Chain A
Amino acid sequence: MQAKIHLPDPSLIKEELINKYPAKVAKKRSKSIVINDPETIPEVQANVRTVPGIITQRGCSYAGCKGVVLGPTRDIVNITHGPIGCSFYSWLTRRNQTRPESPTDENFIPYCFSTDMQEENVVFGGEKKLKQAIQEAYDLFHPKAIAIFSTCPVGLIGDDVHAAAREMKEKLGDCNVFGFSCEGYRGVSQSAGHHIANNGVFKHMVGNNNAPVEGKFKLNLLGEYNIGGDAFEIERLFEKCGITLVASFSGNSTVGAIENSHMADLNVILCHRSINYMGDMMETKYGIPWMKVNFVGAESSAKSLRKIAEYFGDAGLKARVEEVIAEEMPKVKAIIDEIRPRTEGKTAMLFVGGSRAHHYQDLFTELGMTTVAAGYEFAHRDDYEGREVLPSIKIDADSKNIEELKITADPELYNPRKSEAELEELKAKGLEINGYEGMMKQMVKKSLVVDDVSHYESEKLIELYKPDIFCAGIKEKYVVQKMGVPLKQLHSYDYGGPYTGFEGAVNFYKDIDRMVNNPVWKLIKAPWEKEGAEALEASYVA
């Protein structure tokens, strides 16, 4: 794939990005900045430590565990064990929407729970306070589940949150209590926290309820956190097609749904980075295959629905999916035909997440825009280069610290939903069964791929490429906009959305059109600052 627009020489740009760094830093960064070739994908250094002192986008393990994976499920009481800050900052800031089925259903998402650890707890241990907090949460709310999240000091002082959880679970009797050792210093980014969360949810929740689930085509939606209502749109499409959603991991979800999720016959994965572990573990233990899908982009949504129908291999479902697509697409087409002349030929950069920087490229393609540079904040090599590189990824000290669960087939519940031969046949039809091809195959030749982009590099990239839009998060938002370039937040969607499915695509087209063509960007210079402006010299004649 060649770019339709002229791209500057990426090797010169790469040089420019690293030449200010001290030699050792430059050497390290140069391995994370690569020039793309979709035919022969180059190796990208990813999931390695950020150099101390570099202004990075990255957060921590706690953010990945509590904030990303567990946060969106509405009926768990999530207690942060630590000083007050971590719970405060992760309080409602990720916009995980949820819709309880009735007004009396539990929804703890608007709450922030913390043990507010004090100096004496750090000195003498905080387990007693933690158990007290669990008891108080139980007495006040009687939740189905209480999850405990360890912050940095907890691991250092040796509080055993797992033992405390076990003790309280036994004591309370009708409340599932479990802990996560997701201290902020584990791993190199949020990614470690995703893995820790996957392990905990799998161990303590999945498989707790073997009640059969009604429905002909039953699946789980993995790695969809319902930011801005994304999951609602996907739920709408599933319902329209007659597909039964057993559980979402974890947007608009419930404890009950997750406990019952092993009754599904397929796991579809949206955000590969944050949840692929769950797909693998459920496949091994229960025989449920997982398939990579993407509901970001109208074409991708249609494609994903078709893949799901193909997986179930049912003629009725296939026909229904086609009907739904035929019903949805004209609305999308009408909007894109109107907007595209205004966005065609423009350029975008995406530096965000562990999946979004890939999938949102589909929407830009639909708008006729080219992604000139992209990268993830916390992804691994497989998210860039595809899962076939997994065997060649070196496990370093930081990854080794994250537990790898040893999973075996469940003696009673293991039931391969498809035979090996059937899976091969599906793969041959282009279904990404237990696979993910990564971001780079989709990007144009000579585009730039930068992992864990630094503040310094993003400013340089903007200076050199002058993109029409930059996608990242809140910390980058106003830095980039001060440079006169609109920034679309792809964590919080700038408080808009949904962006998934057909309705989401339309929302996104409209938002990007509004942003790149907004008159405000032409109003930055005052009349007297513009080049060629006549000096404002006034003289009054008396």
Chain B
Amino acid sequence: MLREGLTINPAKTCQPIGAMYAALGIHGCLPHSHGSQGCCSYHRSTLTRHYKEPVMAATSSFTEGASVFGGQANLLQSIETIFSVYDPDIIAVHSTCLSETIGDDLQQITKKASDDGKIPAGKYVIYASTPSFVGSHITGYANMVTGMAEQFAVSTGEKKEQINIVAGWMEPSDMREIKDIAKAMGTKIVLFPDTSDVLDAPQTGKHEIYPKGGVTVDELKSTGDSKCSIALGCISAEPAAIALDKKCKVPFETIDMPIGLSATDRFIVSLSKAAGVKVPAEITAERGRLVDVMADMEQYFHGKKVALFGDPDQLIPLTEFLLDLNMKPVHIVSGTPGQRFEKRMKEILERAPYANFKNGLNADMFLLHQWIKNEPVDLLIGNTYGKYIARDEDIPFVRFGFPILDRIGHSYFPNVGYKGGLRLVEKILSVLMDRQDRTALEEKFELVM
């Protein structure tokens, strides 16, 4: 049944949570939700369940009065309270459907806070407009990252020997891996945002409200002087790279997020070209290890049908990787809208003309489930909510994306780079081969596989 009014089991959530996640990737930053308390509480809860880490953020605590008369007084008071009680270097404010519907202008209110002397010297308030009724959590992430670039980047006129890497929505482990790859390549990069050492903080017996990690203000300022930017993802990262180009004339290249072999290849090539460095032997060897496993285990991948759902910048290279593995991505769903996404996905799916793909409105997990019932699959890849479909249809399931509420690992082990590719291959093989072991007839039960 074609639905137009009702979304059932969404494959997306709303903008503000993306803005909150992105803001946590700035060192010394307290994200601030300009809306009702519930928004902030829900976003903190969801991020906390996903990371099993403290997620600090404040709220404008709207009541009915604020909703009628506008939220300026609440935001001004919030800024004052936050700087005196929680003492961050930066407050990153994002709006909500409530404050957007009223028409609160964050730029005007933060300017007023500054004019009224509510922002202490050397401290910052940045903002992003993130109405929940447009786009998805990915849009909100992109908007906050764009806000970082627009509001911090400065062009001093003197170019720096460094490259900006705009991280699309990825895990702290992925960001750490991007930095490790850049280091191995001998390139100097500014990665932003950077949630490593923020949302994967060690147990020390002390809670640090502002953990060690995060891109610093100085680094963000310097992005205006970088020789170029590489945006990892056309939906969640490119808008910030465009903003930097507009404001500071920093040229950029947008590539897919480096998930899987081919997308990682393109990342390595882009980085080596941008920095003018040769790819070191250790990276080539790492690539070789991934291809080796793909070749050695090819029989277990071949022809296996896969259903996947999640976020655009991750689904695009993941689908490509499945095709590289000789698997068949038959059903793909994402609640995030966007023509760029559709276009790029269609390019990837030229190799898979059989695939069902839908994104945007009513592209939800209920639809995916119906597709799976019509054409069953051997593997399901997606966030934790997929476990209900996996259980109903008895499908091997790999958790991938956001949110993952019931397993650990995503904070610590990357999906990006060749190392990430190895992790994905291992995870996929494990569920497929565990299934084979569990269901094989006694005489077909294999010791060596």
Contacts and interface: CB of A to CB of B under 8 A. Distances in A.
| Chains A and B come from one and the same complex | yes
Interface in B351-397: 361-362, 366, 385, 388
Interface-central residue, B13, B43, B60, B208, by most chain A CB under 10 Å: B13
B101 A53 contact: no
B207 A474 contact: no
Given A156-B98, A184-B37, A397 B65 contact: yes
B66 interface: yes
B102 interface: yes
Interface in A379-417: 397-398, 401
Interface stretch (B21-29, B75-83, B269-277, B325-333): B75-83
Contact of B64 (A115, A122, A398): A398
Contact of A58 (B37, B86, B362): B37
A52 B59 contact: yes
Contacts of A398: 63-64
B85 interface: yes
Interface in B77-118: 77-82, 84-86, 96-98, 101-102
A110 B207 CA distance: 35
Given A63-B38, A117-B133, A135 B78 contact: no
Interface stretch (A125-133, A356-364, A506-514): A125-133
B37 A189 contact: yes
B36 A483 contact: no
Interface stretch (A79-87, A214-222, A365-373): A79-87
Interface stretch (B198-206, B305-313, B338-346): B198-206
Interface in A159-198: 183-189
A164 B101 CA distance: 21
A52 B74 contact: yes
B203 A524 contact: yes
Interface in B48-78: 48-49, 52-67, 74-75, 77-78
A118 B133 contact: yes
A88 B7 CA distance: 11
B61 A478 contact: no
A189 B78 CA distance: 17
B85 A186 contact: no
Given A52-B75, A61-B38, A482-B201, A84 B335 contact: yes
B45 interface: yes
Contacts of B16: 85
Given A185-B36, A398-B63, A456-B86, A113 B81 contact: no
Contact of A50 (B17, B37, B48, B55): B37
Contacts of B43: 89
Given A22-B84, A116-B7, A84 B203 contact: no
Contacts of B366: 111
B57 A133 contact: no
A139 B2 CA distance: 11
A84 B84 contact: no
B12 interface: yes
B5 interface: yes
B425 interface: no
Contacts of A82: 97, 132
Given A137-B6, A478-B48, A53 B78 contact: yes
B14 A83 contact: yes
B39 interface: yes
Contacts of B62: 152, 184-185
A397 B64 CA distance: 9
A52 B60 contact: yes
B42 A63 contact: yes
B63 A188 contact: yes
Nearest to B75: A52
Contacts of B205: 482-484, 524-525
A131 B6 CA distance: 9
A339 interface: no
Nearest to B132: A83
A56 B36 contact: no
A85 B61 contact: no
A139 B1 contact: yes
Contacts of A27: none
Interface in A53-71: 53-63
Given A121-B133, A185-B66, A482-B207, A475 B44 contact: yes
B307 to A, nearest CB: 18
A153 B5 contact: no
Contact of A54 (B12, B85, B201): B85
A130 B48 contact: no
A112 B6 contact: no
Contacts of A153: 97-98, 101, 133
A25 interface: yes
B41 interface: yes
- Bin the interface of chain A by size: 35 or more
A529 to B, nearest CB: 9
B438 interface: no
A401 B67 CA distance: 13
Contact of A84 (B12, B55, B102, B208): B12
A49 interface: yes
B46 interface: yes
A130 B5 contact: yes
A473 B54 CA distance: 12
Contacts of B14: 83-86, 88
Interface in A267-321: none
Contacts of A88: 10, 12-14
Contact of A63 (B7, B8, B32, B41): B41
A514 B201 CA distance: 24
B82 to A, nearest CB: 5
B41 A475 contact: yes
A111 B365 CA distance: 10
B9 interface: yes
Contacts of A131: 5
A136 interface: yes
A114 B3 CA distance: 12
A85 B42 contact: yes
A393 B162 CA distance: 63
Contacts of B45: 89, 93, 473-475
Nearest to B392: A110
Contacts of A110: 388
Contacts of A49: 61, 63
Interface-central residue, B53, B61, B206, B335, by most chain A CB under 10 Å: B61
Contacts of A132: 4-6
B136 interface: yes
B172 interface: no
Contact of A112 (B9, B63, B97, B101): B9
Given A113-B7, A188-B63, A53 B77 contact: yes
A54 to B, nearest CB: 6
Interface-central residue, B37, B84, B204, by most chain A CB under 10 Å: B37
A156 B67 contact: yes
B131 interface: yes
Interface-central residue, A113, A184, A456, A524, by most chain B CB under 10 Å: A184
Given A84-B335, A184-B36, A89 B85 contact: no
A297 to B, nearest CB: 27
Nearest to B140: A85
A21 B81 CA distance: 8
B97 A186 contact: no
A142 interface: no
A57 B41 contact: yes
B77 to A, nearest CB: 5
Contacts of B55: 475
11 contacts: A20-B85, A21-B81, A53-B82, A85-B97, A93-B49, A110-B388, A119-B131, A122-B101, A152-B36, A153-B98, A483-B207
Closest CB pairs A-B (n = 5): A60-B38, A85-B14, A132-B5, A53-B81, A53-B78
Given A84-B13, A152-B67, A184-B36, 13 more contacts: A25-B85, A79-B6, A85-B17, A86-B42, A88-B12, A88-B14, A116-B361, A117-B133, A118-B134, A397-B64, A482-B204, A482-B208, A524-B204
